[in-house]
């Protein structure tokens, strides 16, 4: 059943841009749904109520007319007399007149002896098929419905007997009438019950319709509030006038808005910071280029150009870091690309890439590992993480220092440690350095403060925890990332060996 609904209509007319269009299956109006569930059962109940009314109307209509049939039988019965043990009847003229007095229905009657001898009345009026004695208690009046001369008739009949007479001596009195009066009365009763329903039911439907559209008004109001909102407005929706049932929905929506707001703010901050960070190397580059343009001495010019090249490298690194952060944050490289990885092997390769850099700076770069250390993760991101930690350790360790990369497998966790004996870090600073663009004031060398933010982001994606602490063994710092150890899934249990079958298949033993 499809009900045109006020809510749907308005949706169709609403201006474009009201969100993603819903598929025909999902576009089910609440209004229509409630109407369907309320009114569809009515369609079944109504015919049922008509059938009941009909049945009870017939019963009610039978009652008064049965009463008058009963009186006719009693009147005739009173006029039977026993003369010498034989029944004799002489119907009064008044009784005959009474019997024929009906305008609408034909009345039939007869009086028969037990051997079917007609004493008075219609010969061919059928006789009741009685079998047992219990079915003809003298004086009792019985009723039955049947057909006679092609018409429905209602018959009242009674067996009259002398108190002292033998059991098989009786007289049957039957009075029957066609059912026209009864049908008319029953029809009138049915009509008087059903006809008002033709007014009451449409009225009820209209009232339900009206009530529903009033009841669903808060929903429409809420929709309008959301529809007319400024796209940039992420403030929570007021729950003041929202009905109780909708409150959880609005609250969930508000929580989502709050999360979106935080995200948008973080993004705006990040973009602003990134722009600011980019501006510094670009300004430096411009100054150097202007300086080079004015330079006439070829040696000085070459020096200026070399500085420009370094500046470009630095700017390029910053852009790469920003891209890595953006890629790590966005789910471009997401959980779906995580796979079992040997962290030992992966870190060993990264360390190998950094040996030259360490050598250049006069730093001893070492690697310690117990062998395979399996975790689940994304190799690209893990390499990026290791690279940033090793870069920091080398950068913040003066020439002649030591940097050791270490893998420790505790069975439950795999730890990646990068230990150095460099400038070190205080406990307070160690908490702050994971913030984006945060650098310790006296940090040696160039950097943009993104390395540890990237490490943190990648660790989060791997459900791992990254920390930086002062080196407990003395000078320097230790960066540590703790991952959960990966274990291969257990193979399904082997089916039990069928020894009896093996025994049957084996060749018989020789003598």
Ligand X SMILES: Nc1ncnc2c1ncn2[C@@H]1O[C@H](COP(=O)(O)OP(=O)(O)OP(=O)(O)O)[C@@H](O)[C@H]1O
Catalog residues that contact ligand X under the rule CB under 6 A.
Answer: 321, 388, 392-393, 396, 420, 422-425, 433, 438-440, 443, 447-453, 468, 477, 479
Sole residue written with tokens 């350095």: 433
Judged by CB under 5 A, does residue 392 bind Mg ion?
Answer: yes
Judged by CB under 5 A, does residue 451 bind Mg ion?
Answer: yes
Cβ at position 468, least distance to ligand X in Å: 6
Judged by CB under 5 A, does residue 324 bind Mg ion?
Answer: no
32 binds, among ligand X, Mg ion, none (CB under 5 to 8 A by kind): none
Judged by CB under 5 A, does residue 422 bind Mg ion?
Answer: no
Stretch that binds Mg ion, among 174-182, 301-309, 387-395, 484-492 (CB under 5 A): 387-395
**Strand (E) or helix (H) holding 48:** helix 30-78
Cβ at position 303, least distance to ligand X in Å: 24
Stretch that binds Mg ion, among 104-112, 188-196, 211-219, 388-396 (CB under 5 A): 388-396
Is residue 273 within 8 Å of residue 436, measured between CB atoms? yes
Q: What's the rounded Cα separation, in Å, for the pair 242 and 219?
A: 8
CA angle 252, 257, 258 (to 5 degrees): 95
Q: What's the rounded Cα separation, in Å, for the pair 48 and 54?
A: 10
**How many residues form the binding site for Mg ion (CB under 5 A)?**
2
Alpha helices in 160-297 (DSSP H): 180-215, 217-227, 247-294
Cβ at position 443, least distance to Mg ion in Å: 9
Judged by CB under 5 A, does residue 456 bind Mg ion?
Answer: no
305 binds, among Mg ion, ligand X, none (CB under 5 to 8 A by kind): none
Cβ at position 233, least distance to ligand X in Å: 35
DSSP conformation class of 236: P
- Going by C-alpha positions, the residue among 68, 288, 104 that lies closest to residue 183 is 104
Is residue 448 within 8 Å of residue 277, measured between CB atoms? yes
185 binds, among Mg ion, ligand X, none (CB under 5 to 8 A by kind): none
Cβ at position 400, least distance to Mg ion in Å: 21
Is residue 481 within 8 Å of residue 385, measured between CB atoms? yes
Cβ at position 461, least distance to ligand X in Å: 17
Stretch that binds Mg ion, among 293-301, 359-367, 449-457, 497-505 (CB under 5 A): 449-457
Is residue 397 within 8 Å of residue 403, measured between CB atoms? yes
Residue 313 makes CB contacts below 8 A (sequence gap 6+) with: none
Cβ at position 396, least distance to Mg ion in Å: 8
**Distances from the Cα of 210 to the Cαs of 28, 33, 310, 328, 408, in angstroms?**
19, 15, 76, 54, 72
Judged by CB under 5 A, does residue 397 bind Mg ion?
Answer: no
Judged by CB under 5 A, does residue 311 bind Mg ion?
Answer: no
> What are the phi and psi torsion angles at 231 (to 5°)?
-55, -25
Judged by CB under 5 A, does residue 449 bind Mg ion?
Answer: no
For Mg ion, the closer CB: 141 or 468? 468
Judged by CB under 5 A, does residue 401 bind Mg ion?
Answer: no
Cβ at position 447, least distance to Mg ion in Å: 5
Q: What's the rounded Cα separation, in Å, for the pair 366 and 326?
A: 31
321 binds, among Mg ion, ligand X, none (CB under 5 to 8 A by kind): ligand X
Q: Where on the chain is the footprint of Mg ion (CB under 5 A)?
A: 392, 451
């Amino acid at each position: 059943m499809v009900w045109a609904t006020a809510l749907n209509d308005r949706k169709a007319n609403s201006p474009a841009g009201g969100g993603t269009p819903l598929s025909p299956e999902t576009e089910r109006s609440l209004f229509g749904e409630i109407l369907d569930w309320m009114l569809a059962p009515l369609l079944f109940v109504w015919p049922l109520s008509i059938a009941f009314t009909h049945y009870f109307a017939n019963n009610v209509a039978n009652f008064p007319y049965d009463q008058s049939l009963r009186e006719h039988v009693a009147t005739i019965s009173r006029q039977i007399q026993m003369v010498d043990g034989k029944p004799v009847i002489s119907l009064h003229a008044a009784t005959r007149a009474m019997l024929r007095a009906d305008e609408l229905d034909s009345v039939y009657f007869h009086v028969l002896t037990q051997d079917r001898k007609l004493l008075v009345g219609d010969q061919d009026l059928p006789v009741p098929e009685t079998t047992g004695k219990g079915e003809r208690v003298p004086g009792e009046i019985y009723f039955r419905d049947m057909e006679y001369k092609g018409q429905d008739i209602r018959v009242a009949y009674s067996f009259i007997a002398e108190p002292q007479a033998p059991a098989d001596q009786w007289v049957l009195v039957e009075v029957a009438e066609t059912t026209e009066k009864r049908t008319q009365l029953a029809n009138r009763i049915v009509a008087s019950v059903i006809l008002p329903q033709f007014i009451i039911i449409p009225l009820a439907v209209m009232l339900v319709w009206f009530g529903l559209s009033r009841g669903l008004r808060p929903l429409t109001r809420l929709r309008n509030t959301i529809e007319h909102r400024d796209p940039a407005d992420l403030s929570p929706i007021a729950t003041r006038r929202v009905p109780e049932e909708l409150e959880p929905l609005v609250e969930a929506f508000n929580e989502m808005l709050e999360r979106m707001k935080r995200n948008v703010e973080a993004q705006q901050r990040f973009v602003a910071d990134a722009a600011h960070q980019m501006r510094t190397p670009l300004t430096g580059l411009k100054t150097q280029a202007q300086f080079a343009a004015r330079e006439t001495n070829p040696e000085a010019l070459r020096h200026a150009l070399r500085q420009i090249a370094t500046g470009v490298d630095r700017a390029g690194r910053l852009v790469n870091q920003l891209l890595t952060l953006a890629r790590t944050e966005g789910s471009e490289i997401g959980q779906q690309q995580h796979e079992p990885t040997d962290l030992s092997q992966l870190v060993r390769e990264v360390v190998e890439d950094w040996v030259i850099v360490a050598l250049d700076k006069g730093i001893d770069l070492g690697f310690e590992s117990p062998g395979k250390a399996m975790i689940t993760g994304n190799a690209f991101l893990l390499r990026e993480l290791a690279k940033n930690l090793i870069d920091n350790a080398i950068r913040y360790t003066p020439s002649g220092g030591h940097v050791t990369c270490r893998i420790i497998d505790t069975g439950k966790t795999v730890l990646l440690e990068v230990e150095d004996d460099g400038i070190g870090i205080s406990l307070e600073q160690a908490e702050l350095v994971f913030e984006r663009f945060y650098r310790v004031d006296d940090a040696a060398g160039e950097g943009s403060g993104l390395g540890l933010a990237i490490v943190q982001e990648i660790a989060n994606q791997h459900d791992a925890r990254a920390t930086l602490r002062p080196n407990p063994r003395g000078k320097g710092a230790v960066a540590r990332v703790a991952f959960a150890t990966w274990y291969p899934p257990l193979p399904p249990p082997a089916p039990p060996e069928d020894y009896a079958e093996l025994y049957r298949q084996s060749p018989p033993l020789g003598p």
